[in-house]
A and B are shown apart, each in its own frame.
Chain A
Amino acid sequence: MNRATVIWGMLLIAGAAYLLVRVQSVGNGRVYVQRVEVQPQAAPPAEGEAPAAAPAGWVRYEPALRSSAGEEDIEVSIPRTVGVWLAALLTLCILSFLWGDNPFYKLAESVFVGASAGYAMVVGFWTGIVQNLFGKLFPELMRASFLPGQEGEGSLVYIVPLVLSVMMLMRLSPVGGWISRWPLAFFIGATAGIRLVSYFKSDFLLQIESSIVPLIVMTDGGLNWQESLKNITVTVGVLSCLVYFFFSVEHRGAAGVASRLGIWFLMITFGAGFGYTVMGRIALIAERLQFLFSDWLWLI
């Protein structure tokens, strides 16, 4: 066993011992909830019918503040407490990758892959298949089961995506997998057609329209030099960047100067993008640390 492993092992044991002591003394990581009795109302009876019996109620648990522990209707939620501990341990497992690849990280990574795939499938099933497909093809059945609040009539046109879906599932068949290319072609063709128009409008025409601004801005009869400078800089920046992207002309002379200016503008853009990306990631790590130190350890 090398020295690093011994040191990390000792640190882990010390950390676990600290946690045990803290749980005994403070009880950190507990999640408190408030019991709320839900008593739904029976639907109003139809004409001539006797009123229906009130449906059975249930208990809903609302999040409660740690400071409200001991108050009436406030209790510790075992599932949520287990959840906080599990989330904390999984967070630490992922963070352990900073030390190097290790079994804890691989375990958390495997859970992440499985849970992500399951999550995507469940969301796709309830929104894509049940709501969008079955909701249109079998509206009465859906209203009687999963989607009682759904409005509107069905549409037989949705047989087309149903057929395309079945064709796509042919991919799982040992023969005839090529049939899945047909829905894929629809998928690709529809995306290309919709994106062509929408990107041309939003990314090309609208951007050009936004760039056509007065270079000299007058407000209240006087020169607004700040707005004028801004507009001139933006216009020069857009044009010089476009010259840099234009490879049909050799970047020499005036084109060379403009393209070099374009590179500088792009470098500022990339620098700002880099700064923003780092900031976003730091905000995420701060949020995770806040979870660990506040929700789990109750240190802050």
Chain B
Amino acid sequence: MKRTVPLFIAAITGFVLIAADFVPYTQSWGDTAMIWFDILAAVAFILGGANLLRMHLQKISDVRPGWGYSVVTILAFLVTLVVGLGKFGVHPAEDFPNHPWSGDYIAHGGGFWWIYEYVYLPLAATMFAMLAFYIASAAYRAFRAKNTEATILLATAFIVLLGRTYAGVYLTGNLPESLAWLKLNYLTDVIMNVFNLAGNRAITIGIGLGVVALSLKVLLGVDRSYLGSDREA
């Protein structure tokens, strides 16, 4: 019951949706399933939020090192949640002024928009921007033109980096017309549209086959890792 029924549910759902894609009348089933998928994902966020609260409250309760940061996390979580769900500072939609809750939850000027614009967005963008330093640092330490393959990789990265910036245009902009093919922006275009296209196409074909194989493994019950362990309540 605990493990067999889910296997059947996964298999039936999957194979029905595969078959539905080949029948014109049932082709929209896939779209409907994706909407259900979104609904379940939204409910899964509730589980995630509850888990986050549980973990951090446990840390605070045990007065573990760094518990103060858990207080900050919970406060940030609850404030965002309350402001977003309560539509704080959101006016009704102009077309429906008699419906006080009709405004968009992320309407410009609202509380949730403020949190998104001035807290979430700067933090997310800076976090990802930091990777520039780490990628550059890791590349400096790890990249060595030790053999042909590494040299090709290095040279390509160098050309693409320069070719996609003004520096590349500036450095090779004065080359005569007969040597125009050596301009960095032209070389970058050739790399991206020919060599990179070929490599990516082969990788994409591999990914396609990989997804098909993995999906079949899941639907046929060969891969059951999503069910977790037997010891769960």
Q: B125: which A residues are within 8 A, CB to CB?
A: 284, 287-288
Closest residue of chain A to B118 (Cβ to Cβ) is: A83
**Cα–Cα, bound, A94→B130 (Å):** 8
Q: Mark A50-64, 1 if CB is under 8 A from B, else 0.
A: 000001101011000
Q: A272: which B residues are within 8 A, CB to CB?
A: 156-157, 160, 191-192, 195-196
CB contacts under 8 Å to B, within A180-198, are 181-197
Q: Mark A133-154, 1 if CB is under 8 A from B, else 0.
A: 1000000000011111100000
Interface residues of A (CB under 8 A from B): 38, 40, 43, 55-56, 58, 60-61, 79-80, 82-84, 86-88, 90-91, 94-95, 97-98, 106-129, 132-133, 144-149, 157-158, 160-161, 164-165, 168-169, 171-172, 174-178, 181-197, 199-200, 202-204, 207-208, 210-211, 230, 233-238, 241-242, 244-245, 262-279, 281-282, 284-285, 287-288, 291
Contact of A195 with B215 at beta-carbon distance under 8 Å, contacts A238-B198, A262-B202, A275-B164 already known: yes
Q: B196: which A residues are within 8 A, CB to CB?
A: 268-269, 272-273
Please determine whether B49 and A186 come into contact, CB atoms closer than 8 angstroms.
no
Please tell me which one of the listed residues B69, B109, B154 contacts residue A110 in the complex, with CB atoms under 8 A apart. B69
Interface residues of B (CB under 8 A from A): 2-3, 5-7, 9-18, 21, 30, 32-50, 52, 66, 69-70, 72-81, 84-85, 91-99, 101-102, 105, 109, 112, 114-133, 135-136, 139, 148-150, 152-161, 164-165, 191-209, 211-212, 214-216, 218-219, 226-228, 232-233
Q: A185: which B residues are within 8 A, CB to CB?
A: 5-7, 9-10, 13, 226-227
Q: A268: which B residues are within 8 A, CB to CB?
A: 152-153, 156, 191, 195-196, 199
Q: B207: which A residues are within 8 A, CB to CB?
A: 199, 203
* Interface-centre pick from B11, B117, B165, B211 (highest chain A CB count, 10 A): B211
Please determine whether A114 and B152 come into contact, CB atoms closer than 8 angstroms.
no
Q: B34: which A residues are within 8 A, CB to CB?
A: 190, 194
Closest residue of chain A to B195 (Cβ to Cβ) is: A268
Q: A241: which B residues are within 8 A, CB to CB?
A: 198-199, 201-203
Nearest-CB distance from B174 to chain A (Å)?
23
Contact of A202 with B43 at beta-carbon distance under 8 Å, contacts A118-B77, A233-B195 already known: no
Please determine whether A196 and B18 come into contact, CB atoms closer than 8 angstroms.
yes
Q: B78: which A residues are within 8 A, CB to CB?
A: 114, 118
Please determine whether A274 and B157 come into contact, CB atoms closer than 8 angstroms.
yes
A-B contacts, 8 listed (Cβ < 8 Å):
A97-B130, A128-B41, A177-B232, A197-B18, A197-B30, A203-B211, A241-B201, A281-B129
**Cα–Cα, bound, A91→B42 (Å):** 29
Q: B159: which A residues are within 8 A, CB to CB?
A: 275
Q: A126: which B residues are within 8 A, CB to CB?
A: 84, 105
Contact of A133 with B126 at beta-carbon distance under 8 Å, contacts A185-B6, A192-B14, A284-B132 already known: no
Q: A158: which B residues are within 8 A, CB to CB?
A: 36, 39
Nearest-CB distance from A163 to chain B (Å)?
11
Q: B203: which A residues are within 8 A, CB to CB?
A: 241, 266, 269
Contact of A117 with B119 at beta-carbon distance under 8 Å, contacts A124-B42, A242-B205, A245-B202 already known: no
Please determine whether A106 and B208 come into contact, CB atoms closer than 8 angstroms.
no
**Cα–Cα, bound, A234→B161 (Å):** 22
